[in-house]
A and B are shown apart, each in its own frame.
Chain A
Amino acid sequence: MTRGGAEVAVAGAMPHRERAPALRRHAAWWLAALALLALPYLPGLASDFARSLLTQMGIAAVFALSYNVLFGQTGLLSFGHAVYFGLGGYAALHLLRFINQGLPVPLPFVPIAGALGGLLFGILFGAVTTRRAGTIFALISLGVGELVYAATFMLPGLFGGEEGITASRTRAPLLLGIDFGSQLSMYYLVVAWGLLAAVLMYAFARTPVGRLCNAVRDNPERVEFVGYDPQRIRFIAFAVAGLFAGLAGGLSAINYEIVSADAVGAQRSGTVLVMTYIGGARHFAGPVLGAITITWLQIGLSGYTTAWLLYLGLFFIAVILFVPGGLAGLLLMHVPLVKAPGFVRLLGTYALATVPAVIATAGLVVLIEMSYRLATQPELGTRMRLLGIPVDASTAASWTGALAALILGFVVFRATWPTVAAAFERVQAASPSRSRLPPS
């Protein structure tokens, strides 16, 4: 019995294990919880900015996990998942406004309104859109997204139009004396709801319907011939995805204390798709990795450069072309190799290939930044500092130097690739994963 490295990660093809004691079986969850609790106190993360970034990563992770219930688990490509995030956000914000006016509900319960809003609209729109799969489903989801986006402008009383609607998260009854004014308490609220949502989605994937979602993804027709209606399965998956997207929207609403039309918009729908794909839709934790990476790019990178969207696009294309399994797939590919002889050598070849790759990337970044400066911000002049290096976009030397770095780096990188591939194949051949297969 052989098994390719990539297949180990295939959802639904998990090897059967004898049931270990509960604590060990759930070790990954406990470790994740501990890490999340400690995270905002680590050096470099103890600022309000960093904690706000972590909070947004957490919200994005829940949203991306909900998207993967559709995409990775059920095979439904949606271009309108932000609808459920946004409408959940509006539901939570309206509840918060009632609370501001005296409704006695403590803040930690507000995200429930978001989840219910997402579920309600997931059921409403899902009943129609999940009648079809594939391309038709994708197109309908795009249409529903545009429809809801337009509706937010047509019903300003409910949605507040472009400016959106606002409320205050501190004007609410206290629970256990916490007022949620600080970014730290907001972070922990997101961690609590996010962990619960992740556990529930993980558990959902391991129920009869969760497994049938995988079957519908693989082969909807065959599902009909084992007694199940694939439409019904898609509908349940859609409602579940709506529920958790709404929860993420609700958390976002109380984090920002505002929800506006862009919460339901096509850009947010596109972003969650990119997060899920880059992280790796075939593994449960993939969307979380993607959410962390993309949020960091959005917030971290946008502080350094106006061209961050361009970098995001390049990154997305590179992942699609070269790492189809996403970041999670890339990591998991190496897990069975860690103990194999030659693994250290493999890491060495990676380091070797990284040097020219960094040089090529640096050349590309300089080219992009100089182009951006000349095209969009000529008033700032042609001189700038990039990665600590002074660059003048008006001199031929800057352009030829950057171009040379790009080309030379790329050529050398390609030249190192056979060495890397050979090292990888050698480690894979010597990998003990064959003998570590579970007993049949």
Chain B
Amino acid sequence: MTMSAPALELRAVEKRFGATSILRGVSLSVGVGERHAVIGPNGAGKSTLFNLVSGRLAPTSGSIRLHGTEIAGAPPYAINRRGLSRSFQVTNIFPRLSVFENIRCAVLWSLGYRYSFLRPIDGLGDVREKAERTLERIRMTARRDTPAGVLTYAEQRALEIGVTIAGDANVLLLDEPTAGMSRAEADAAVDLIRTVSDGRTLVIVEHDMSVVFDLADRISVLVYGEIIATDTPARIRANAAVQTAYLGTACHA
């Protein structure tokens, strides 16, 4: 790990399922502290890209480096321990656990408790404080003891982000965090994402273009498994190739 290493660096990453090529040589570099959005039409491979980076899938070939360390093919928990945390497009929480327990499970490793079964969890003050702080940040303190499975959709999305940020990962991957939300809910979610990603590296997949242009420092456009452009929001908006390939046709803007 060197000072100059980007937070996340992908080189010629390919993913094939049988004969089908989903990602065809993706290269991407995200600097430390950058907010980076990945956009592209449905089926472009955005979710596959996240699955490769977070360890849910192993790439067929290519290199993925997190702060200079190769992580391609490593299991999710190993990547998470190195400081990368992700959220899911379809809410992926612990439905029978309370909101507080959801968050608490997500802070344990970061505080060094590993596979501890000799100390009562309620006695761990640092765990409780960190979980309470995370609850405040996602504004869910009032829902502390509610089972996650009975929360409203927007609340579950907020909890999803809470579980993702609770362990203080310095690289966050958010997969369509505002999908299915009303305008007001999405605005609140963007505010939340802006606060929680402050001082961290953020990679976000999002269909809502107002969210993307509002939040991102740079944008990558993924079309049919290839990145056709990476640039600032203003230049992406003006890019003719992007317009024909994506913005003009998909019409989310």
Contacts and interface: CB of A to CB of B under 8 A. Distances in A.
Interface of A: 1, 3-4, 7, 10-16, 203-204, 206-212, 214-215, 217-219, 221-229, 232-233, 236, 240, 437-438, 440
A217 B110 CA distance: 21
Given A15-B145, A219-B92, A233-B115, A225 B54 contact: yes
B96 A227 contact: no
A1 B98 contact: no
Contact of A438 (B88, B124, B145): B145
Contacts of B106: 226
A137 to B, nearest CB: 19
Contacts of B93: 219, 222
Contact of A226 (B100, B109, B116): B109
Rank and list the top 8 A-B pairs by shortest CB-CB distance, nearest first. Answer: A227-B109, A224-B76, A209-B117, A218-B94, A226-B106, A207-B117, A13-B98, A227-B80
Contact of B142 (A16, A224, A440): A440
A207 to B, nearest CB: 4
Interface string B118-130: 1111101001000
Contact of B100 (A10, A16, A203, A223): A16
Contact of B145 (A16, A218, A219, A240): A16
23 contacts: A16-B144, A208-B127, A211-B97, A211-B104, A214-B101, A215-B97, A215-B101, A221-B92, A222-B88, A222-B92, A222-B94, A222-B163, A223-B77, A224-B80, A226-B80, A226-B166, A227-B81, A227-B110, A228-B108, A228-B115, A240-B117, A438-B145, A440-B143
Contacts of A204: 117
B141 interface: yes
B96 A10 contact: yes
A3 B115 CA distance: 32
B95 interface: yes
A218 B80 contact: no
B146 interface: yes
Contacts of A232: 115
B121 A211 contact: yes
B121 A207 contact: yes
Contact of A228 (B77, B122, B147): B77
A16 B142 CA distance: 12
Interface string B47-87: 00000001110000000000000000001110011000110
B116 A207 contact: yes
B228 interface: no
Nearest to B80: A227
A366 B76 CA distance: 60
B45 interface: no
Nearest to A226: B106
B121 A227 contact: no
Contacts of B109: 226-228
B101 A211 contact: yes
B105 interface: yes
Contacts of B150: 4, 7
B85 A236 contact: no
Interface residues of B, number: 49
Contacts of A12: 94, 96-98, 101
Counting chain A CB atoms within 10 Å of each CB, the highest count among B97, B117, B144, B145 belongs to B117
B95 A219 contact: yes
B146 A215 contact: no
B97 A208 contact: no
A218 B121 contact: no
Nearest to A16: B145
A208 B80 contact: no
Contact of A440 (B80, B110, B141): B141
B115 A236 contact: yes
B105 A210 contact: no
B118 A207 contact: yes
Given A204-B117, A207-B121, A209-B116, A224 B77 contact: yes
B177 interface: no
B163 A218 contact: no
A214 B120 CA distance: 15
A222 B121 CA distance: 20
B245 to A, nearest CB: 31
Contact of B95 (A208, A218, A225, A240): A218
B116 A10 contact: no
A13 B172 CA distance: 27
Contacts of B98: 12-15
A440 B100 CA distance: 11
A13 B97 contact: yes
B131 to A, nearest CB: 11
A240 B118 CA distance: 12
B113 A11 contact: no
B87 to A, nearest CB: 9
Nearest to A3: B146
B167 interface: yes
Contacts of B77: 223-229
A14 B101 CA distance: 9
B66 to A, nearest CB: 14
Contacts of B110: 227
Contacts of A209: 115-117
Interface in B149-173: 150, 163-164, 166-167
A208 B117 contact: yes
Given A7-B147, A440-B145, A206 B92 contact: no
Contacts of A16: 100, 144-145
Given A7-B150, A224-B80, A226-B105, A440 B144 contact: yes
Nearest to B116: A208
Contacts of B147: 7, 10, 13
A214 B96 CA distance: 8
A39 to B, nearest CB: 29
B100 A208 contact: no
Contacts of B105: 211-212, 215, 223, 226
A228 B116 CA distance: 12
Nearest to A10: B96
